[in-house]
Structure 1
Amino acid sequence: MKNITKLMMATTLAVGTFAAGCQTTPSVTAPVSQPITTEALQAHNWQLVDAKRSNGEKVTQLFFDPAKPLTLNFMNDNGTDRVAFVNTCNNLAAEYSVVNGNVQLNNVMATMMACPEPQASFDTATLATVQGKYSMSKNADNLPILTIKNDNQVAHFKAVDK
């Protein structure tokens, strides 16, 4: 009986060790690129989460009020595709089109209020941020991310419900 108990304990230990060695760790995947389409842009609002200059410095003008982040609202307005830049001091918007997977902003419109600082700098930084090459991906949590890159900076926006 003593030998059977020892054999059972040894077997349990061996199986437990073997099973622990065969466990897989969760894979961390790189972002998966998605095509830029009007439908994909309009499916969500896009809230700024990060913006850095080419030298790695944060674009601080875009983060002066964390309660009101820059948000892009792509929409169709009576047959015209538009994007509104939300939380700016002036009302900023533009017509846009997607041509060969690239977002092109046309006819950027803005009210002309004399905004105090830091709101005036926020508006200026917004206009600089939205000009560039747009790309869309999904992060490791399978959430959509919109990236806008130009010669001076890279900005990342997360998808939020409309």
Structure 2
Amino acid sequence: MKNMTTLAMAATLAVGTLAGCQTTPGVTAPTAQPLTVDALEAYNWQLVDAKHVNGEKVTQLFTMPNNPLTLNFFKDNGNQRVSFMNTCNNIGGTYHIVNNNVQLGNVISTMKACPEPQASFDTATMATVQGKYSLNKNANNVPILTIRNDNQVAHFKAVAK
């Protein structure tokens, strides 16, 4: 009987120890969210960070701090559209979500002869919006849209429309 009590106590201690060792997401860990039309269209998405794969900032996207690149997803006559705000040219197109990723289609732009640094901003915008999209929430529960491609990673925070 003493062995059974000792064994029960050891088992209880082991289970308690294992339960105490479980990892829980820290407050700084992003929480993955499903990428849906409703989630994208609920906010405007304002660029907060963009870095090349070597860790260097994509400086062309930060020449106008008061007018950051902002993505606006919306419906227009039943079509899913996106516009890239604060660019010199008007740039936008259609989009669809396929396999939990945004696929852009028919992106069009006006053809103004934009001065620098706006011309480089427009070029960097097109390079930034092409890639794998994912949606997370940061430690402050703010939705963050991330776009990754072979050359860079960009993060956009949700901003009320």
TM-score band by shorter chain is 0.7 to 0.9
Correspondence for 1:33: 32
For the pair 1:133 / 2:103, whether they are aligned, the reply is: no
RMSD: 0.7
Other structure's SS at 1:113 match: coil
Other structure's SS at 2:39 match: helix
Distance in 1 between residues matched to 2:122 and 2:28, nearest whole Å: 35
Code of the residue aligned with 1:34 in structure 2: it is Q
Other structure's SS at 1:90 match: coil
Distance in 1 between residues matched to 2:67 and 2:139, nearest whole Å: 26
Q: Give the TM-score, by structure 2 length.
A: 0.83
1:139-154 equivalence runs, <5 A: 139-154=138-153
Distance in 2 between residues matched to 1:71 and 1:32, nearest whole Å: 22
Code of the residue aligned with 1:84 in structure 2: it is S
1:49-128 equivalence runs, <5 A: 49-128=48-127
Deviation at 1:31, TM superposition (A): 0.3
Per-residue CA deviations over 1:30-74 (Å, capped at 9, x if unaligned) read 100001001100000000000000000000000001000000000
Other structure's SS at 1:131 match: coil
Distance in 2 between residues matched to 1:28 and 1:161, nearest whole Å: 23
Correspondence for 2:43: 44
Count of matched residue positions in the alignment of Structure 1 and Structure 2: 136
Code of the residue aligned with 2:142 in structure 1: it is L
Question: Unaligned 5+ residue runs, structure 2?
Answer: 1-25
List, as ranges, runs of 4+ consecutive aligned residues in structure 1 with deviation greater than 2 Å.
Answer: none
Deviation at 1:100, TM superposition (A): 1.6
% identical equivalent positions: 72
Deviation at 1:94, TM superposition (A): 1.1
Question: Unaligned 5+ residue runs, structure 1?
Answer: 1-26
